[in-house]
Amino acid sequence: MDRRSFFRAQTRTKSNFRVQAGMQPYGGAWTRDEVTHLLKRTLFGARETDIQAFMAMDPQTAIDALFQPQPMPSSPLREYGLVGVEEFMYDDLGVAVGQPWGDDMNVTSDVQARPAINSARCGSLVKWMMGQMLHQQPTIHEKMVLFMHHHFSVQIGEVDDATMCYRHHLLLRQYALGNIRELTRLVSKDPAMLRHLNGYLNSKKAPDENFARELQELMTVGKGPDSMYTEGDVIAAAKVLTGWRINSETKLAEFSAGEHDTSTKQFSGFYGGISIGGGDGDTELAALINMIFGVKETARFICRKLYRWFVYHRIESDVETAVIQPLADLLIAENYELAPVLKTLLRSEHFYETAHRACYIKNPYDFIIGTLREFNVPIPALGDYSQSYPYFQSLARQGSRMLMELFQPPDVSGWPAYYQEPMFYEMWVNSNSLPRRAEFVDGLVDDGVIDVRAYVNALGTQPDVRSLVETIAARLLQYPLSDNSIDYIVNRFSPGGMPDDTKLKDIFKFILNLPEYHLC
Amino acid sequence: MNRRKFLSRTVPATVMPALLNGFSFSAYGSQPGSMLQQLLGPDLPNDHILVLIQLHGGNDGLNTVIPLDVYGNYYTARANVAIPQDRVLRLDGTDKTGLHPAMTKLQTLFNNGKANIVQSVGYDKQNFSHFRSTDIWMTGDDSNNRSSREKRGWLGRYLEDVYPGYPYEYPNGDMPDPLAIQISEAPTVTVQGDVFSMGLSITDPNNVYSFTNPFNDYPLNSADANRELQYLRIITDKTKVYSDIIRAAYNKGANRGTYDETSLARQLAIVARLISGGLKTRVYTVTLGGFDTHKKQVNPGDTSTGGHAELLKSLSAGISAFQDDLEKQQLDDRVLGMTFSEFGRRIKSNASMGTDHGAAAPLILFGKHVKKGVLGKSPDIPAEVQVVDNIPFQYDFRSIYATVLERWFCVDKTKISQLMLKDYQSLPIIGGTPCGLDDDIEEVNEQADKMILKFWPNPYQQVATLQFSTPGGKTVVQQLNALGQLVRIHAMETYPAGTFNIDIYEDQLPSGMYFIRLQTGNLQKVIRVIKAK
């Protein structure tokens, strides 16, 4: 009890007196520490080769390198065999095994088999996304694609269509570093989103407010103190969005004028009392999105979400003033282009302050993919589908067990670790998920997936066991271990000198299970 | 039964009777600084358990508890999803309201007096967001001021008050088990405390977690990093300790009910088994998802079937199997269950055979000690319902929480207003027995008279025997001096029903007059004994 009140008092005091550097460009040292911090936040884990490469650059160049344009990936492959429907087995006649299914509309096979083929493709899509993340280049793209997935939070279970989910994912991928206003406009009539939040049922006769509400609450203006849209705005937005349907053959969105509410939709003073009408679906949608993005709170809300994704979850008034507001102003000035805003954040004094190091609890993919990448575990190639897709599947399943299921966020608001007060990131680690993280790393070491001897050899010659443990800990942990802790590890596992393979495994398991290992 | 040692811990305030067999106890005991007064101290928790069933997504209350007295308007408002009048399940004692046809098991429970319904539970200024409304239900704070509003859950506040210092000094003798267990992948706000969740999330009670970490230093000078590291360390330590406790209880416990193969039934079976295994855990939460029925809530051919019907069937059968399990193991005396959902749904249905986010909805309580009946009236449904029309709340959900605290956890009124952030009404939904409230005095007296409390020889010198009986549950036997001050506690624990002896040997007390006081539940009995020189 005492310890806790002491601790709380201490942290409160510190945060009150903390110097919050703002968005001015970082001018300090550019060492392994800064580079590792940058890479761990923008990639899944920081590999030694990347650390070396980025250390050789100056900060400006390093940030630009993270934003190198990336080609769009090729389609997921058919890695599944025959599909079973009741007692019959069917082939996917549209796509041969090993061939891409992304452009196939699943209309060739027996009608009975199509739902099962769709399910198989949905599974294939999840594995494929896992593969994209595992094979990431040293750029920020995959983390931003995952961010967009969190932000729009479409669930494959709700959409239940592999083609729509694949196209939705490509849309997020295309705009992950692009224009957030344009992406929001396109997502608003994207078939996967139309299905996910019932837009395809939204008609003038029975307006469905589901998307209209979440568009404002979760994707744009949010529910912060300065967000004052009304229930009337939700209803009006729902009416603006009436009439979007999904063509059953092409699975593309189309506007059905007969289902659209052509009345004049009046918005509240929060949106400047704008009214939207005219009857054309695209024109009204663009007007709605422009109206919402015309409110400054939208830019702030998006910047807060990005800050929580990359820096830290607590946004107090000092951060609001020193970071969120300038970034929001920049986002508006840059016409809602995300890249300049992200670059400014990542090259700022604020980002590299000690206060913001090692305070980020790894999400399940930081943990899973980060561990594999940092130990240079060979990842089977996407094209080698019979090897790689089962591998991706098993890792995606690990991610789900640790609370982050790809293509299936828990609800419309994304993953609670990035919004749920007061715990935020702490939501990832609880009495249920912690043992799963432990099982994962223990398994990697015990089963030899991680070659601990090779890892140690790559560290170069170490004078003694203490120095060895110290070096391993320094490489793997962003949060430093004290001398006492290092001594403890040495004395517990290898007091007699350099460890043999068994002892070395124990040392690695111990370090990978330390609470410190969950931080980056 | 072993001789009870003197226990230097607090006595629950609820053991304090106003009258001691006709003598005003306060005349002796309540002078400031008296030993008894000191010992009374803060509340000691009782052993009552609350099981919360969260219906995630916003349950359509109008199709759960169907308003038969305004059926015509109900039907008009939602013809495409309305439950046919002749299919509605009837409830004893009312013709105004009935249950969804899928809830036959709950109907039986209700008619047997083990479930009740509170109509139109909600709050003012309904927030229609799943996220925000769930927060409001879990924290009990609906204020719009984001920075100042309550972030702790209503049960988190209660548990933090009763078990201060959690998790640092726990488990301990006062609370050897988890305070709350959530059968879930992750903790919810309901049991959120100031810094930590007061609950443990588990999905597999057999989980083994054996990692230990002896380090507790914070070499990095960063408040945020240290905060997160401290959280991780605590979780690591407590996960190990509590996973061992939970596993032991799970293996010791049993299920005697017949549960369906549904997610909810599986969760409730785990809860029953942990209770059966002897956990003193006070709160359990389980979740049933899928209530966000914007579309295809019912099957077009038969509106009494479909997705919502399946959910309600699972709920009804799950509760029934759970209650049956507890009864067969004689654990039902300690358990109260309650459902909640972030909101109800709109009166008017939509064109997708579904319903959109709404406001108030009925809430179900179940267990041995609920009062039978339907509290409140059917919602008022106008003849012509607009799309935006909602059901206003009759009962604030926090009145239900306050009543649970008062009449189930036996928290005193002042403390309740503190925990609930303001005063809420007490509702007649839980019987008086659990906390000794509102009971028929005659009946209580009669029951008390039946309890055995003997002491021989009397007068005694070095050796004596004390005999008492209890109907079961938390039982206290105290020895008070002539001034009514507490000098010995002979027994203070949970007993099964029966008669017990305590041997007294060389108790070191000076000679004189003493009272032996027996107290259990709302019953008490006092006898006088003499210690001779």
pLDDT attached to residue B132 = 83
For A1, the closest of B164, B185, B228 (CB atoms) is B164
Task: Provide the token pair at B183.
Answer: 């059968």
Are the beta carbons of B249 and B17 closer than 8 angstroms? Answer: no
Written as one string, the DSSP assignment of A252-288 is: -EEE-GGGS--SPEE--GGGTT-EE-SS-HHHHHHHH
- Chain B touched by A492 (CB under 8 Å): no
Q: Does the beta-carbon distance from B222 to A435 stay under 8 Å?
A: no
Residues listed for chain B: 533
Of A425, A417, A419, the C-alpha closest to A224 is A419
Which range is least confidently modeled, B45-49, B259-263, B328-332, B335-339?
Answer: B45-49
Give the tokens for residue A351.
Answer: 């980002």
Helices (H), A422-500: 433-446, 452-458, 465-476, 483-493
Furthest C-alpha separation in chain B:
89
What does the alpha-carbon distance between residue B440 and residue B116 come to, in Å, rounded to a whole number?
Answer: 21
Evaluate if residue A486 carries a pLDDT over 80: yes
Kindly determine whether residue B219 and residue A481, on different chains, have CB atoms separated by under 8 Å.
Answer: yes
Find, in chain B, the residue whose alpha carbon is nearest to that of A212: B129
Q: Above 50 in pLDDT, residue A490?
A: yes
**Out of B222, B223, B236, whose CB is closest to A515?**
B236
Checking if the pLDDT of B194 tops 90, the result is: no
Which chain B residue shows the shortest CA-CA distance from A228? B144
Q: Which residue from B minimizes the CA distance to A419? A: B131
Q: Name the β-bridge partners of B357.
A: B345
In angstroms, the CA B149 to CA A78 distance is 51
Between CA B87 and CA B84 the distance in angstroms is 5
**pLDDT (tens digit per residue) in B377-402:** 888 888 888 887 888 888 899 999 99
B335 CB-near residues (< 8 Å, 6+ apart): B48, B49, B50, B51, B275, B326, B367, B368
Which chain B residues are Cβ-neighbours of A422 within 8 angstroms?
Answer: 151, 192, 195
pLDDT at B21 over 80: no
Residue A44 to residue A67: CA distance in whole angstroms: 15
Beta-bridged to residue A245, according to DSSP, are A254
Q: Which residues of A touch B388 (CB under 8 A)?
A: 231, 235
**Average pLDDT of the residues of chain B:** 85
pLDDT tens digits, B65-86:
999 999 999 999 999 999 999 9
Write down the pLDDT at residue B209. Answer: 65
Average pLDDT over residues B27-55: 56
What is the model's pLDDT at position B213?
62
- Chain A residues with CB under 8 Å of B387 CB are 206-207
pLDDT band at B445 (very low <50, low <70, confident <90, very high): low
User: Which tokens belong to A376?
Assistant: 């240079």
CA angle, residues B128, B134, B135, in degrees to nearest 5: 110
pLDDT the model gives residue B188: 87
* pLDDT given at position B26: 28
* Among the partner residues A360, A431, A485, nearest to B243 by beta-carbon distance: A431
- Name chain B contacts of A362, Cβ cutoff 8 Å: none
| Alpha-carbon dihedral angle through residues B464, B467, B472, B476, given to the nearest 10 degrees | -40
Q: Which position has the higher pLDDT, A103 or B8? A: A103
Q: Retrieve residue B4's tokens.
A: 């009870």
- pLDDT (average), residues A247-254: 96
Chain B from 452 to 481: CB within 8 A of any A CB: none
| CA angle (B59, B150, A225) in 5-degree steps | 90
State how far the Cα of B94 lies from the Cα of B112, in Å rounded to an integer: 14
Cα A316 from chain centre: 23
- Whether the predicted model's global pTM rises above the 0.90 cut: no
Torsions phi, psi for B227 (to 5 deg) = -60, -45
pLDDT class of B484 with cuts at 50, 70, 90: low
State residue B146's pLDDT score.
Answer: 56
When pLDDT is cut at 50, 70 and 90, the band that residue B145 belongs to is: low
> Between chains, do A359 and B187 touch, taking CB under 8 Å as contact?
no
Please identify among residues 407-446 of chain A the ones whose CB lies closer than 8 Å to any CB of chain B: 411-413, 416, 419-423, 425-427, 429-435, 438
Residue B136 has pLDDT above 70, yes or no: yes
| Secondary structure (3-state) at B425 | coil
Size of interface A-B (CB pairs under 8 A): 184
Crossing angle of the two packed helices A433-446 and A364-374, in degrees rounded to 10: 10
Question: If you count DSSP H runs as helices and E runs as strands, how many of each does chain A have, helices first?
Answer: 25, 6
Kindly indicate the confidence band of residue A503, based on its pLDDT and cuts at 50, 70 and 90: very high
Q: For residue A27, give both structure tokens.
A: 């001018």
Query: Which B residues 427-446 touch A at CB under 8 Å?
Result: none
pLDDT for residue B36? 38
What Cα–Cα distance (Å) separates residue A277 from each residue in A212, A264, A266? 16, 4, 9
Task: Say which residue the tokens 């009995």 belong to.
Answer: B525
- pLDDT value for B440: 54
The answer to whether residues B319 and B109 touch, using CB atoms and an 8 Å cutoff, is yes
Q: How many other CB atoms are there within 10 angstroms of residue A332's CB atom?
A: 16
- Would you state the structure tokens that stand for residue B310, as one six-digit string? 């399946």
Give B226 to chain A, closest Cα distance, Å: 7
| DSSP structural state of residue A27 | -
Place of tokens 């996960």: B239
Q: Nearest residue on chain B to A359, judged by CA atoms? A: B225
Residue B351 touches chain A, beta carbons under 8 Å: yes
Please report which residue ranges of B378-486 form alpha helices under DSSP H. Answer: 397-407, 413-419, 441-450
- Which of A304, A352, A309, A299 is CA-nearest to residue A143? A309
Q: Give the pair of three-digit tokens for residue A420.
A: 């749920």
pLDDT at B33 over 50: no
User: Is the CB of residue A250 less than 8 Å away from at least one CB of chain B?
Assistant: no
> Contact A432/B186, CB-based, under 8 Å?
yes
Contact of B62 with B71, CB cutoff 8 Å: no
Q: How far is CA A131 from CA A119, A155, A382, A398, B357, in A?
A: 19, 19, 6, 14, 38
Q: From the list B185, B230, B388, which residue is nearest A7 (CB)?
A: B230
Residue B452 is which amino acid? I
Between CA B150 and CA B141 the distance in angstroms is 6
Cβ-Cβ contacts under 8 Å, A7 against chain B: 226-227, 230
Phi/psi at A216 (5° precision): -80, -45
CB A166 within 8 A of CB A320: no
> How, if at all, do strands B361-367 and B115-122 pair?
antiparallel
Per-residue pLDDT, B487: 85
Q: Is the pLDDT of residue B147 over 70?
A: no
Mean of pLDDT values over B505-516 = 87
Average pLDDT for residues B444-456, to the nearest whole number?
A: 83
- Select the residue of B129, B221, B242 nearest A223 (Cβ to Cβ): B129
Q: What is the mean pLDDT of residues B200-215?
A: 75
Q: How high is the pLDDT of residue B522?
A: 57
Burial class of A463 by CB neighbour count within 10 A (0 to 12, 13 to 18, 19+): exposed
**DSSP annotation of B388:** T
CA–CA separation, A93 and A82 (whole Å): 10
Are A201 and A168 in contact by the 8 Å Cβ rule? The answer is: no
Instruction: Look at residue A250 and tell me whether its pLDDT is greater than 60.
Output: yes
**Is 70 exceeded by the pLDDT of residue A61?**
yes
